[in-house]
Amino acid sequence: MFRIKEAASLLGVSTDTVRRWADGGRINISTDASGRMVIDGTALAHLAQELATADHPDDQAVKAHSARNRFTGLISKVVRDTVMAQVEIQAGPHRFVSLLSREAADELGLQPGMIAIATVKATNVAVDIPQHP
C-alpha cells in the first residue's frame, strides 16, 4: 500500500492528479488502519504500465541525455521457475527486466506491487529494496 504522495512521486505526477484520477475512477483509493488514504501497489503498478505505454504527444527527440543508473519503480511482474526468476520493474516510462536466481528473489520477497530500485550496470540489472524509516 502506498500513500498518495508516494504514488504521485512514483508515477511522476502531482498528488492532485492522483486524486483526480481516483475521483474519475482510474485508480482506487482506500484507507489503511490509521485512516490514511492509500493505493494498492499492484493497482499502482498496472497504472504505471498503462501510463508508460500511452502515447505522449509532447515527447520530442532528445539532442543529449544523461541518465542516472538507479531507477525507483514498482515491481509489475515476477516469474519464478526452479532455478531463476524474472522480475519486471516499471519506473515511470521505463520498464526494466532483471534475471536473478530464484533464491535471491525469494530472499528479497519480491512480489508485484512492491517498490524496488533497478540498478543498471552495463547490460545487467540488479534489484534493490529501499529501506523505509
Q: What pLDDT is stored for residue 123 in this prediction?
A: 66
The full length of the chain comes to 133
**Sheet bearing 70-80, strands edge to edge:** 94-101, 84-91, 70-80, 115-121, 124-128
Q: What pLDDT is stored for residue 77 in this prediction?
A: 94
Return the CATH number of 70-128, one of 2.40.50.100, 2.40.30.170, 3.90.650.10, 3.20.20.140: 2.40.50.100
b/e string for 7-46 if b means 16 or more Cβ within 10 A? bbebbeeeeeebeebbeeeebebeeeeeeebbbbbebbbb
User: How many beta carbons lie within 10 A of that of residue 82, not counting itself?
Assistant: 5
Q: What pLDDT is stored for residue 13 in this prediction?
A: 84
Alpha carbon of 114 to those of 6, 23, 44, 57, 65: distances in Å?
A: 12, 24, 10, 30, 28
pTM: 0.55
| Segments in the chain below pLDDT 70 | 53-68, 122-124, 132-133
What Rg, from alpha-carbon coordinates, does the chain have? 16
Cell of 61: 527527440
The residue type at 78: V
Cell of 133: 524509516
